[in-house]
Amino acid sequence: MEEEIQIINENARKEKLKNFFAKNSKYFIFSISAIIILIIAYFVHVEIQSKNQIKIAEKYNNITNNFNNLQNTEQTTNELIRIIEKKNPTYSPLALYFMLDNELISEKNDINRYFDIVINISSLEKEIKNLNIYKKAIYNSNFVDETELVEILRPVTNSDSIWKSHSLFLLAEFFYFKENKAESKKLLNEIINYENSNPEIKLESQKKLTRDFSE
């Protein structure tokens, strides 16, 4: 008797399961199709990204390898700007550095705009972003006042970035040049007391404190 009841219960469970799949077959088919489409779309996206990366790399290498000061610098600059505007995490920063190193652009507003494009690339690694903020601050230190420079560097100085001590030292030098020695000394001490300061920057800070602030 127990065996018969068990068989009946087993058949009932199978029937319920069968009815459940029958009623929800469209949902399951839709879900499986959606998953397959997403997987295909992902691999297509990766393939397109890979091809675009190769194209940008070839373009950048062709521009820089064939560059000389006698060629059409305007054309070179425009091509590099187009690479920056592609917002590629590798070659957009390199294109900006190349333009700056070779003095292909000089307009302050344009340079800052290109820095901002690079800094705001969503796929840019955190420390590469911080490096570009630091580089932007170095460039702007020739033009801006203390408040503006502090604001530019704030995302780095308020973090645990490997570029934090570099940024603090830049500010310390800037304040010293502006004859705000109290703020400069404060920043140098912050570098020395910061556990993760770059060893060379920390040593330079100690030397500067001894040389310029010893009583």
Q: Identify the CA nearest to 80 among candidates 103, 48, 46.
A: 103
**The pLDDT of residue 75:** 86
Quote the pLDDT of residue 54: 77
Q: Using CA atoms, how far apart are residues 211 and 157, in angstroms rounded to an integer?
A: 25
Residue 214, pLDDT score? 73
pLDDT value of residue 215: 59
Which pLDDT does position 44 carry in this prediction? 46
Residue 159 CB contacts under 8 Å (≥ 6 apart), including other chains? 130
What does pLDDT average to in each consecutive run of 10 residues of the chain (215 residues)? 54 60 59 56 49 78 79 85 93 94 92 96 93 96 94 96 96 94 94 94 93 78
Q: What is the pLDDT of residue 52?
A: 66
Angstrom distance (rounded) from CA 51 to CA 69: 31
Structural domains of the chain, with CATH: 133-215 (1.25.40)
> Residue 9: its pLDDT value, please?
55
Cβ neighbour number for residue 169 with a 10 Å cutoff: 22
pLDDT, residue 213, reads: 83
pTM of the predicted model over 0.85: no
